[in-house]
Structure 1
């Protein structure tokens, strides 16, 4: 009789459970084998439990491939069995960790981690979001995003960002050799003219002509080519060229210092090894400081890197030094004011907060054409919930540079905070994209807003558009994680709408 076979199977399962509790995993597997063989095939829910239990024993024995097979069989028998979904996700994560870093290994890792994320998303939707599972999902997203970013970076197609982004990059340098007009009629002398016309695609070919012809500005051309490779996000090629310049005995101090600054920042952008990257980066900046201790660019750019490394006090010292060396370095001055404000806010020092605000009032008078002064002052006012005043600052910056899409986006988000009108916010961000179709901040913001509205497919689509536009591998990994989280929710919801397996159990025996 079928009920007798079921009772026999359940007895074997119980015996297997006792052996499992006694850490006799081999013996437990033998009992689970007997349970599975004895169980009537239409008792799918019971079979799902037996396969899951055998998966647990195989996992304890580090037989991960067998554990994965059992999880899969368990889920086939009961596609809403949260325990099996949870275990399959964890086994997949362990298997993914054993894979190599070549292209094949990365593709397999991405596939496994994506499935693990989908499994855990289903599990959470079935059981509710538990702290342990949320922590697991967070670690999954970091590993998955990192693997996807590494793979995407290997095959990245050279592409310039918007003209605004390129111009903004050069505001961090007051002594870049590229910005000094060159006399004569040679390829490199024409490069700056094309920059001023926003004809960026013509610059690297002109540099190549100067380099291959062994012409007088060969080293300047190499440095400029490396700079525009950075802007095209071709980090490996840029790194090689910068290193070649730095090791060239004929390289002048100014060119070498600029190359060291750019290589120092590039170590952080590549995100290969956080500890080693920071060490290499600061070593380059320190070498640049020895070469040109009075170069404000060294301190401005090292200050920005130190902020990224959470070396807050050192960053403030660097920005102060940049401002002391070059009082007319507008970007350094307003960055210093903003870091002063953050420090004062962290310590709740009201007198220093007032001093920072007064400093920004002075800054917009001293540097009325510095868009960053208005943008950072607006952030300070927004942090103090002086929303109308912040709005006025964003508008002044936008009036000064109507093509600055970032200011339009910040203003849209501020208006959302003031009114709660998300539809109007979305309209304004899409207007910003008409100005700058390569604005990753716009796409990321749209994705975040759609996440809040639980429009997960739309969110994933926006993150997909942002990913190829960001500069660093770390930013790519973050966006891949957001996209994967949204996709996993879409897929989990779709699977949960399907007919449950094991329904034939109802009304039987």
Structure 2
């Protein structure tokens, strides 16, 4: 009841109803609190804009407790209309949008909240990250289902095959390359022609020629299924790849090396599907078939790395190296993981051992660009910038078609010398070399957004999205793209300067 000793102007009455609503709210009587806030809104003169914004925001809080999220959105929208930078109301509306799965609107609101707050509040930042991940996954799944299959660059495919030391198909390719004789390619067909295609890196013809071998149920049908499944994996066709690889496993009298390579790739696909436990089961099946196959432990180690099981990752990498000391990819990866272990556990001995290991690999495999490249990355993290630059240059000389060398040299220029001009030059060189250089577009886009060039940043993130091959990559890139779009929208709406 309103105090009769106070002059009952409409504004005073409205304030009294608000105070009573606050008391009822604290007592958990949310229905009655809504009634009081409603009376306050109806009575309050329109010129008291800030008070009206507060009344709507308070009623929204009561509706939130009553799980009436549409009413929360209506009231907070009115509060923001009355007070354009009302952070509390924006945040409440963001939470309501999240509840009803309007994730895009939720992201726009919570991004605006973060920007208005100066990115200081941990709760706001955590919510932004959570919504970004959820929304990105949804959009990535939808986009990926409609995406036309396309092969990655030859450089990417080449490095993928190098990561297997016991791939029976690639061993056949090497044998084919080493035979010094004239060949009548026109006489080759099916899987035999596939070997020629792989040797010549004529990747576009690989799947059609695998189809010939599979359709005629030729003698090399298991190998053809393995290759077709592999290329579908590289194109991001997860279901089709699994179908081929599982078909291979169902066949009898398949060479053990073929079966093991197939299981490793199925494990890799399960990782992309976020079925980590199933992936590890597939690696175990491979290990049961061929306990001493170095490829199993290298690729399972990478799964452990994604799962943040660093100790198990290092053990697998070490086992891969011990089984095949002449496997440069495994040796390089082992040293890199050893360095990461040293960082994680603040173990200087591990870090020193990793650096020493890279030097030994360089002596043993002087032409291994992957090892030189990873060593350069580690040197950069150790802040040995001059040495890092020298090794990135060497990696580029050994593999002049690797655009990622230039991306990392650009990043190094920023870390080392704060040299934006040189950094941008290297990054632009990377995307000129390879118009599918996803990492280059992503890095350039991030720099442009940080510099306040949101429009250019959005263009680059979109190019990175267009170059992605897996749903996981798409989800990561969409999180960057959506974050930049939300920031651009908030900056325009609220007049916030970025950069």
The two structures have a TM-score, normalised by structure 2, of: 0.89
Residue 155 of structure 2 corresponds to 164
State the SS of the aligned residue for 1:268.
helix
Which stretch has the larger CA shift, 378-387 or 483-492? 378-387
How many Å separate the matches in 1 of 2:345 and 2:25? 54
User: 1:120 aligned to 2:110?
Assistant: yes
How many Å separate the matches in 2 of 1:294 and 1:434? 42
Residue 153 of structure 1 corresponds to 144
Q: How does 1:425-436 map to 2 (within 5 A)?
A: 425-436=423-434
Q: How does 1:57-68 map to 2 (within 5 A)?
A: 57-68=62-73
Residue 262 of structure 2 corresponds to 259
2:304 to 306, 309, 319: 306
Residue 490 of structure 1 corresponds to 488
Cα 1:442–1:127 change in 2 (3 A) is closer
Q: Deviation at 1:12?
A: 2.6
State the SS of the aligned residue for 2:376.
helix
How many Å separate the matches in 2 of 1:346 and 1:496? 41
2:407 to 387, 406, 409: 409
Contact in 2 for aligned 1:156/1:234 (Cα 8 Å): no
Tell me the number of residue pairs that the alignment of Structure 1 and Structure 2 aligns: 476
Residue 419 of structure 1 corresponds to 417
Q: How does 1:258-407 map to 2 (within 5 A)?
A: 258-271=261-274, 277-407=275-405
- Where does structure 1 lack aligned partners over 5 or more consecutive residues? 97-111, 272-276, 499-509
Contact in 1 for aligned 2:85/2:116 (Cα 8 Å): yes
How many Å separate the matches in 2 of 1:64 and 1:349? 51
**1:361-409 CA deviation, whole Å, 9 max, x = no partner?**
2211211221111111212322332222111111111111111111111
2:194 to 191, 196, 199: 191
How many Å separate the matches in 2 of 1:347 and 1:153? 38
State the SS of the aligned residue for 2:287.
helix
- Give the 4+ runs in structure 1 shifted more than 6 A: none
Q: Deviation at 1:345?
A: 4.3
**1:123-161 CA deviation, whole Å, 9 max, x = no partner?**
333344322222222222222222222222222221111
Cα 1:83–1:357 change in 2 (3 A) is closer
State the SS of the aligned residue for 1:431.
helix
Contact in 2 for aligned 1:269/1:471 (Cα 8 Å): no
Q: How does 1:33-112 map to 2 (within 5 A)?
A: 33-41=38-46, 43-96=48-101, 112=102
How many Å separate the matches in 2 of 1:439 and 1:196? 24
State the SS of the aligned residue for 1:369.
coil
Aligned-CA RMSD value: 2.2
Between the two structures, name the one with larger relative contact order (CA 8 Å, sep ≥ 6): 1
Which stretch has the larger CA shift, 280-289 or 344-353? 344-353
Residue 206 of structure 1 corresponds to 209
Cα 1:137–1:220 change in 2 (3 A) is same
How many Å separate the matches in 1 of 2:251 and 2:44? 76
**1:7-48 CA deviation, whole Å, 9 max, x = no partner?**
333333332222212211111112222223333445443332
The two structures have a TM-score, normalised by structure 1, of: 0.88
